[in-house]
Amino acid sequence: MTLKPGAAKPRPARLSPADVARLGAAGLRSRPLRVCLSALGIAIGIAAMLAVVGISTSSRAELDQTLDRLGTNLLTAAPGETRTGEEAVLPEESTALVGRIGPVESVSATGAVKKSIYRTDHVPAGQTGSIQVLAAQPELLTVVDATLHAGSWFTPATATYPTVVLGATAARRLDVPGVGTRVWLAGEWFAVIGILTPVPLVEELDSAALVGWDAARSYLGFDGHPTRLYLRVAPTQVTAVRAVLGRTVNPEAPNEVSVSRPSDALAAQQATDNALNGLLLGLGAVALLVGGVGIANTMVISVLERRAEVGLRRALGATRGQIRGQFLAESLLLSTLGCVGGTLLGVVVTGLYAASQSWPVVVPAWAMAGGLAATLLIGAAAGLYPAVRASRLAPTEALAGT
């Protein structure tokens, strides 16, 4: 057909985004097995990255809930070192001195007793089970927010008799079945009147055997000097109290007092976990990159196998841009398929692991949005070269090669 002079050249019909998507989907449906295997690489990468972020976020949410429940206003003070390198000693009146600080809501203390506790008097002296014996003041249970698994805490009466309250780990190491059992301590039989549940902010109590303050003086030769103070402070005054605590506990040698905040240790543990999470995220990114290479390989092979289709479409009037759009759409759909599968897998893994740890299940929306953005970017990059290569095929060359 010849055009009249001055007549406009015919323009190829434009394909709507829906038409391009249908063309891309048709290309994927023709090779279902290859598509699934290629999408699997993307899915593994997305699932790995999302699971790491989700598990880390769920763990952090559990930590936040724990700190909210236990409180971040617990401070401890313990003896440091003297100028000669020896262990310092806290004054006997340390508890009373700290109690005079206005923002301090409650205070208690424990004192180390250099004695060993055994299940019976027939156990060899060296088999201590690493259980520390501590004298405990009556307010300790309330200050550290500990609870009893069984039995009772010291009363004004039982605190003066040979009785003991065991931490959760100590009870397990001594193989104590419950309250009422007798244990051998410093040549005396002590009755177990209580067993604590684990104390997250004060883990040293878990492996300790606690004796009443007065009983420790009477039966164990305790000198009355506390070795660790525990105090609850008004939440808005933690920093201020922490600054003056050393001078209050030991006015003559404030530098010999070590002050800490137990909740900081939990936060530091979370930071350590984050370093490992960074490594796992890196591995997930590598898996995602490998998945992108798989998509590129699939699309290149697809172009070689479909030369006849490309030639026929070009002969029927398809432009190079439309050919590029078709193969680029296939690549993006393929990567999106992997992203959807990987997101579902990552959420399921996060949910199962969080449920096994009794954590709240938290999957950040930004992680899923970031995974989708990364997938589309990789899909576009992986499909760009095959799309350009397909668009450059001449119709006669493509049809002649069939």
Given the structure tokens 């490992």, which residue do they identify? 276
Q: Which amino acid is at 108?
A: S
Tell me the two tokens of residue 189.
Answer: 């039989």
Q: Mean pLDDT throughout 283-294? A: 72
Domain boundaries, the chain: 17-67+267-400, 73-260
Q: What percent of the chain has pLDDT over 90?
A: 30
- pLDDT value of position 113: 94
Is pLDDT at 98 greater than 60 in this prediction? yes
Under 8 Å between Cβ of 334 and 390: no
Q: Is 350 helix (H, G, I), strand (E, B) or coil?
A: helix
> Closest Cα partner for 116 from 100, 105, 127, 103?
127
Which letter, b or e, does each residue of 223-244 get, where b requires 16 or more Cβ atoms within 10 Å of its Cβ? eeebbbbbbbbeeeebeebeee
Separation CA 230–CA 109 (nearest Å): 6
Tell me the two tokens of residue 132.
Answer: 């520390």
Given the structure tokens 């100028």, which residue do they identify? 83
Q: Could you give the C-alpha distances from 309 to 13, 297, 329, 390, 397, in angstroms and in order?
A: 18, 19, 16, 10, 12
- pLDDT value of position 166: 96
Separation CA 49–CA 60 (nearest Å): 17
- Range with the largest mean pLDDT of 31-45, 165-179, 346-360: 165-179
Confidence tier at 402 by pLDDT (50, 70, 90): low
Q: Mean pLDDT throughout 4-28? A: 66
Separation CA 289–CA 41 (nearest Å): 9
Under 8 Å between Cβ of 348 and 55: no
Separation CA 58–CA 52 (nearest Å): 10
- pLDDT value of position 197: 95
210-241 residue pLDDT tens: 999 999 999 999 999 999 999 998 888 888 88
Torsion over CA: 351, 354, 357, 358 (sign): negative
Tell me the pTM.
Answer: 0.59
